[in-house]
Amino acid sequence: MKIALINENSQAPKNALIFRTLQQVCEPLGHECFNYGRYSQEDPHEKSYVQAGLLAGILLNSGAADFVITGCGTGMGAMLACNSFPGVMCGWAHEPLEAYLFAQVNAGNALSIPFAMDFGWGAEINLAYIFEKLFSCQMGAGYPADWAAAEKRNRGILTEVKKNTSLDFLQVLSRIDQKFLLETISEERFGQMFFANCRDQEIGAYLRRLLQTAIEETAI
């Protein structure tokens, strides 16, 4: 599984700690981890929680990532932003039990964490437990076991409802403010990671054209 980390502006100083913890837990399990920033408070490429949601949508709909870890101070804004995009099913977890139940019951593809709430001494230990409970079990296995079939059926219904109430993701990219979209993807490391892992040729081509146009306009 390709797992992407996205931090928004207010929690950028914690990016290195969060990513290191994610790697320590997930890489021994056979997952690949990718850090899409914001990398620090000094990083010139700012990233609002809305941009974190847009970036999650890009990564998941293109296949460049299979799962996104994101968050903000409360985790609520990032969760709402993620769920506003098609193809993204984002949950919220403050502690390991919530992460485990999200994986077992909801089997979504993104998790938002409140990185400012109770994030003090031992915070990286709690994070490690969250990541362990999220990624070391089979997604969608169900809990409790006698509810597994009903939970699977409801997940399928919800997925179809979201498909039927959402635009195609390429339409989303074309309708969204193009300056806002460009600001979201213009960081150099985005291109290096994204285009190496993107599995949707149309989404990849659209973003390449946008970046190339911006380069050409800057050169004029």
Dist CA 66 CA 206 (whole Å): 20
pLDDT digits (tens, 9 = 90+) for 97-140: 999 999 999 999 999 999 999 899 999 999 999 999 999 989 99
Distance CA 68, CA 61 (A): 11
Q: Report pLDDT for 220.
A: 65
Q: Which CATH superfamily is domain 2-219 in?
A: Sugar-phosphate isomerase, RpiB/LacA/LacB (3.40.1400.10)
Q: Is 53 within 8 Å of 84 (Cβ atoms)?
A: yes
What is the crossing angle of helices 49-62 and 178-185, to 10°? Answer: 80
Task: Name the CA dihedral angle for 130, 136, 140, 144, rounded to a multiple of 10 degrees.
Answer: -80
DSSP 8-state secondary structure symbol assigned to residue 168: -
Residues 6+ apart with CB under 8 A from 127: 18, 21, 22, 113
* Distant-in-sequence, close-in-space partners of 8: CB < 8 Å, separation ≥ 6: 38, 47, 48, 49, 51, 52, 70, 71, 72, 77, 78
The per-type count for the chain, helices as H runs and strands as E runs, is: 10, 5
For the chain, which residues score pLDDT lower than 50? none
The side-by-side arrangement of strands in the sheet containing 67-72 is 32-35, 2-5, 67-72, 110-114, 90-92
